[in-house]
Structures are given as C-alpha cells and as structure tokens.
C-alpha cells in the first residue's frame, strides 16, 4: 500500500466512518465546499452531501451545542474547530455541559471535537496554541493527540465510535510532513494506550504529538554522540493517561525526561511528574526533568518562535544533564 500523509489519514478515517455508520456527520466552518482550512474534509461534501457535511456559522459554542444535542439523540457528530485555538469559545459548553451530561442526566454525548493545533509553522499567538491542558483536568472529556499517520487514523476511528466526547488535537506541523502506510482492514487504535516509539535502557523521554519526532531525533543523536540508549514513549492519549506505560518505563530506565510543546506552568508534564513521584519514587535515580515551551505567547518571528518552543538541542542538553545525575 502507498504511504499517505497524517492529514490524508484523518480524512480516510472520516470517510470510512461516514460510510460505516449513517449516524456519523461532520460540522464546522468552511468544511464543505471549501474542504476545511487545511483541506482535511476536501471531497467529502461531494460524496456525502450537505446533510452530512455541514457548513456552520462562525460560532464555536453554537457548533458544539448543536453537536451535543445531536449526540443525545443518537447521532455521532464530528466537529471541526478551524484552528484549535478557537476552542476557547466553546469552553463553557464543553466543560459545563458536555462533560457533565452523562453524570447529571444520564445523557450520552458521543461526539468528536477536532482541529489543527500546535506551532513550528510561524502561525503566531492566535494560530499556534496547544490548549490541551485546559481540558485534561475535566472529568467526562477524553483528549487525544497523535504523532503518526497510523495513529491519527486509528485514534480518529476510535474517537468517533466512543460514547463520550473526545477532543482530537491534530498537529498542523505534521499534516503534510509525516507519512505512513495504513494497516489493512478496520484500523482502530484504542484510546488510553501509549506506545513505545523507541526502546532504550538508560533514560526515558515521555512525550506526544510533534515533539515525539524531536525526541526521536534527539535519541539518535544521544546514541551516536554519547552512547546513551534512550527510550521514547508516545503518550497518544492525554486523558486518560496510560499510567501503566509511564510507570513501566520509569522502572526500566530509572531516569525520566518529559517533553511537550505546551507551556511549562500547568502543562501535563507536571501531572506526569506527580504521578511518577507518588508511585515510582523509589525507582528514580534522578529527579524527573521537563523540556517545554516558555511561559509566553508564541511569537511570529521565526527566531523567537524557535527559541520559545522545544528543539532537539534542548532535549539533548536536558538528557545529558539527566544522565550525568
């Protein structure tokens, strides 16, 4: 089979689920005739019609509210945020209503809220955010953030079939840069399960999304220049976290570096560190270290964006410090 991009893998998942289940439909700004801001939904309007690929007004809270109602009635809506930055406009609906609907009123809310996120693309502060930490602490929401084309497809199919709301973050830097060959058949990746992207024995890097690829590059450099065997864990799902995979890699290498593109304060690295300290402290030979973005809005200027966001060199420097502890 031919390779397809991360973006095409998501489109393929949407297409297959639209074919499989007549209750699945898409909603979002410019997703129909225009095919979406990044062309993820290109061609789906012509194939499925305007009753299942619905262009909406520019109101994120209204889009999510309509999707929630449809979910209550047995439909499976997939909502696109044109940029994930704008999910903030739907925060009230997602956290106060959607996340609590099952608990308060026994109402299922099977829906996916997806959209392009992340930096490294010179998008500036309004089109480069990673707001996942704003949702991972909300019971009732699941949060997914794949790093590979294969996982983008498999996790999207799992998200659409889930009976609760799944927030699906798609890193725009990966859309056309990362490719993969899709497994044959109905490829579904379970939500809540991390994967080992690289085996190692000296230290572990726990990460997700675009920084998985930077961690892998750093691991190869550390192997070549320092002789360090570095394990890389791709979380894939941020809520729920795969504690079993996290604790297993801690017990294996005894040194942990957590890397993410989100800002440092309040980022998921702090939660992962706390869980490791509570459960695996005796297995640590050094403190858990973090490599994250700086706590500032992301600049437009390329040199400044590169400084703010985690780079391969930052990961290598932190790993060497950790190994020498």
Looking at residue 198, its pLDDT comes to: 98
- Determine which one of 72, 127, 171, 283 is catalytic: 127
Residues of the chain predicted below pLDDT 50: none
Q: Is residue 127 annotated as a catalytic residue, yes or no?
A: yes
Looking at residue 295, its pLDDT comes to: 97
**CA triple 243-131-196, angle to 5 deg:** 35
d(CA 272, CA 289): 11
Contact 58, 14 (CB under 8 A): no
Domains of the chain plus CATH, in order, are 4-180 (3.40.50.970), 195-323 (3.40.50.920)
* pTM of the complete model: 0.97
CB within 8 Å of 185: residues ≥ 6 apart? none
Buried b (16+ CB within 10 A) or exposed e, 141-179: bbbbbbbbbbbbbbbbbbbbbbebbbbbbbbbbbbeebb
Q: For the segment 67-117, what is each residue's pLDDT rounded down to a tens digit?
A: 999 999 999 999 999 999 999 999 999 999 999 999 999 999 999 999 999
For tokens 């026994």, name the residue. 106
For tokens 């979380």, name the residue. 235
d(CA 139, CA 98): 10
Looking at residue 2, its pLDDT comes to: 82
């Amino acid at each position: 089979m031919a390779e397809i991009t991360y973006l095409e893998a998501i489109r393929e998942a949407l297409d297959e689920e639209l074919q499989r289940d007549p209750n699945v439909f898409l909603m979002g700004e410019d997703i129909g005739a225009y095919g979406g801001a990044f062309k993820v939904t290109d061609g789906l309007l012509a194939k499925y019609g305007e009753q299942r690929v619905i262009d909406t007004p520019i109101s994120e809270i209204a889009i999510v509210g309509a999707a929630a109602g449809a979910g209550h009635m047995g439909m499976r809506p997939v909502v696109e945020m044109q940029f994930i930055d704008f999910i903030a406009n739907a925060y009230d609906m997602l956290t106060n209503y959607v996340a609590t609907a099952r608990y308060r009123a026994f109402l299922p809310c099977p829906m996916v809220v997806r959209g392009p996120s992340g930096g490294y693309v010179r998008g500036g502060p309004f089109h480069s955010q990673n707001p996942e930490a704003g949702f991972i602490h909300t019971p009732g929401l699941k949060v997914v953030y794949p790093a590979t084309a294969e996982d983008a497809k498999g996790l999207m199919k799992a998200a659409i079939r889930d009976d609760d709301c799944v927030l699906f973050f798609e890193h725009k830097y990966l859309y056309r840069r990362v490719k993969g060959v899709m497994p044959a058949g109905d490829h579904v990746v379970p939500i809540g399960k991390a994967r080992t992207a690289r085996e190692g024995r000296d230290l572990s890097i726990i990460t997700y999304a675009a920084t998985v690829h930077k961690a892998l590059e750093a691991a190869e450099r550390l192997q070549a220049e320092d002789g360090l065997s570095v394990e890389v864990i791709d979380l894939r799902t941020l809520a729920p976290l795969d504690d079993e995979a996290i604790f297993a890699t801690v017990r294996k290498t005894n040194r942990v570096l957590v890397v993410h593109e989100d800002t440092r304060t309040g980022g998921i690295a702090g939660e992962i560190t706390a869980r490791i300290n509570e459960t695996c402290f005796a297995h640590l030979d050094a403190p858990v270290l973090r490599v994250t973005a700086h706590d500032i809005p992301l600049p437009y200027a390329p040199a400044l964006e590169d400084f703010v966001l985690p780079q391969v060199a930052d990961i290598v420097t932190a790993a060497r410090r950790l190994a020498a502890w």
